[in-house]
């Protein structure tokens, strides 16, 4: 064969690979409102930056099969997003349903290893029917190879999964082991046991969407961190996320340049009601203290009594953990504890400073919460904050009661700076509860019990629940004017930019999972 014939053969094989499962299956993919794997990569990555890895990889037993040449159902390699280098793989549903076989798993493992060795983020675009049944147990080994690497590189490089179709059976565990899971509404599903199998085993009838759609995982299970209406919006979310994260755990995110501005925020005086029982939306507070349009909320539909997300303060990327008085009075329950703890640890992995906006009545009371393990789940927040070595700042906006005050980044747990607004109430419990315990006999014997009770509440609040008592004991670093909050945060972040912490040498701690 002449050199020109070799070149023609190569061109032909590349064309076969790049067509995926062919025109008919591509059309079927499009009819479902889905892009192909290569179309997704084209949109996600900077033009001309994609370097494909192992395009001709194929399953062992079908090396002469035309379809098996098409990347074995996964396209992957190296590219750039807004100039930032990343590794990426996209499962191709037009080839064998994107199912994972031995070589499919090996290819993803190879890309994960390259990402780990080169300390670069890894992004997986998931669209797979699950294990390739016809390959038998070797497909299960492929999953194991991927899971092992997800764990090995956890906390070393950012790992992002975008669910862009089905993710069934063993396929769901790799996304669950990564840092962020993004789902596309009405297109993506995640479940261990599919609807058909479930019906056969349990007799339950349910659709794929009802079982594991984006609504379920964003609002009930908490498995999805972000959901977007379209594929391109989901991929845009990946681009936005990467702006807040470094390439790997030995780096910090570079501050963005920002023009000089007036950092005072007089509107803050109006946004938090003086009545501690009146609800408000903490997101309005966030908008005032962070750079304009920089807040990216994570898990916004799950455990709404806590708000977490990324933002920038004077160009510096930060993570926010905020009580949300609009839901459950901002109290901490099981789901809120898990959500906050996971986010705190993610930020700590990649040197993202933490700012906590606190307005908490305590851990949510109730038999159901106690029986389902609020003690264990609540301990996760305390563990995550105590373990974190990034700069940690707390601002107590209004209430900070009991164990929740301690758990939410108090000085005793290692907070670097704790500020409080003048109206902040910091105590073992709320004044109403405290008076009911301390002054119950006196109130009962009073000629006007209601008036006596109110007088005792006011006295308790003035004597025990004001921020100056905590400040006098060193539990609060400063009581600040609300409108100065942004300025104080900028100063604190600059002061602690080079923070380093020495910890006892150990293999790892034993978090209360």
Residues involved in catalysis? 169-170, 403-404
CA distance 28 to 114: 33
DSSP string, 443-484: HHHSSSHHHHHHHHHHHHHHHHSSHHHHHHTTS-SEE--GGG
DSSP string, 66-79: TGGGSGGGEEEEEE
CA distance 290 to 320: 10
Alpha carbon dihedral 329, 182, 253, 344, in 10-degree steps, equals: 40
* Token duo for residue 286: 């966030």
The beta-strand segments (E) located in 98-153 are 122-128
What are the backbone dihedrals phi and psi of residue 316, each rounded to the nearest 5 degrees, phi first? -90, 130
CA distance 367 to 370: 5
* 10: three-class secondary structure by DSSP: helix
* 315: three-class secondary structure by DSSP: coil
CA distance 160 to 236: 13
Total residues belonging to the chain: 513
Element (H, E) at 160: strand 159-168
- 77-103 core/surface letters (b: 16 or more CB in 10 A; e: else): bbbebeebebbbbbbbbbbbbbbbbbb
Element (H, E) at 57: none
CA distance 212 to 291: 36
Residues contacting residue 439 through CB under 8 Å, at least 6 positions apart: 452, 453, 456
Check: CB of residue 284 under 8 Å from CB of residue 293: no
CA distance 269 to 285: 10
- 252-267 core/surface letters (b: 16 or more CB in 10 A; e: else): bbeeeeeeeeebebee
| 228, β-bridge pairs | 184
- Select from 431, 494, 424 the least CA-distant residue to 461: 431
* 96: three-class secondary structure by DSSP: helix
């Amino acid at each position: 064969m002449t050199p020109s014939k070799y070149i023609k053969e190569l061109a032909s094989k590349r064309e076969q690979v790049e067509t995926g499962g062919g025109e008919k299956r591509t059309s079927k993919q499009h009819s479902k409102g889905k892009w192909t794997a290569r179309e997704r990569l084209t949109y996600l990555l900077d033009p001309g930056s994609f370097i494909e890895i192992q395009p001709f990889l194929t399953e062992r037993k079908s090396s002469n099969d035309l379809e098996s040449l098409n990347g074995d159902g996964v396209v992957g390699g190296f590219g750039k997003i807004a100039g930032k280098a990343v590794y990426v793989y996209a499962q191709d549903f037009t080839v064998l349903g994107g199912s994972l076989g031995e070589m499919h798993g090996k290819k993803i493992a190879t890309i994960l290893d390259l990402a780990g060795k080169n300390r670069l983020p890894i992004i997986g675009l998931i669209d797979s029917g699950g294990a390739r049944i016809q390959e038998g147990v070797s497909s299960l080994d492929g999953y194991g190879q991927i899971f092992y690497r997800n764990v090995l590189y956890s906390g070393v490089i950012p790992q992002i999964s975008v669910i862009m179709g089905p993710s069934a059976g063993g396929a769901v565990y790799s996304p669950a082991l990564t840092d962020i899971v993004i789902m596309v509404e009405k297109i993506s599903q995640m479940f261990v046991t599919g609807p058909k199998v479930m019906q056969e085993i349990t007799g339950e009838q349910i659709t794929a969407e009802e079982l594991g759609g984006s609504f379920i995982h964003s609002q009930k299970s908490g498995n999805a961190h972000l959901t977007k209406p379209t594929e391109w919006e989901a991929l845009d979310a990946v681009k936005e996320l990467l702006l807040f994260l470094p390439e790997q755990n030995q780096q910090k995110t570079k501050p963005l340049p920002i023009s000089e501005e007036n950092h005072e925020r007089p509107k803050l005086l109006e946004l938090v009601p003086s009545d501690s029982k009146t609800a408000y939306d903490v997101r309005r507070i966030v908008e005032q203290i962070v750079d304009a349009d920089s807040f990216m909320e994570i898990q916004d539909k799950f455990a709404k009594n806590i708000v977490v997300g990324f933002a920038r303060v004077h160009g510096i990327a930060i993570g926010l953990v905020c009580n949300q008085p609009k839901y459950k009075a901002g109290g901490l329950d099981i789901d809120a504890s898990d959500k906050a703890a996971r986010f705190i640890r993610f930020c700590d992995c990649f040197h993202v400073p933490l700012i906590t906006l606190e307005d908490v009545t305590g851990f949510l009371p109730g038999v159901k919460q106690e029986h389902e393990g609020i003690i264990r789940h609540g301990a996760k927040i305390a563990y995550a904050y105590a373990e974190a070595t990034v700069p940690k700042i707390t601002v107590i906006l209004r209430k900070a009661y009991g164990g929740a005050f301690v758990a939410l980044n108090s000085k005793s747990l290692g907070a670097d700076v704790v500020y409080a607004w003048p109206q902040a109430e910091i105590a073992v419990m709320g004044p109403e509860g405290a008076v009911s315990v301390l002054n119950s006999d006196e109130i009962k014997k009073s000629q006007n019990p209601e008036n006596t009770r109110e007088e005792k509440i006011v006295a308790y609040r003035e004597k025990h629940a004001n921020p100056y008592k905590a400040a006098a004991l060193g539990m609060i670093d400063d009581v600040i004017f609300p409108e100065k909050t942004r300025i104080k945060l900028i100063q604190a972040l600059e002061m602690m930019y080079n923070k380093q912490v020495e910890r006892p040498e150990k293999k790892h701690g034993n978090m209360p999972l």
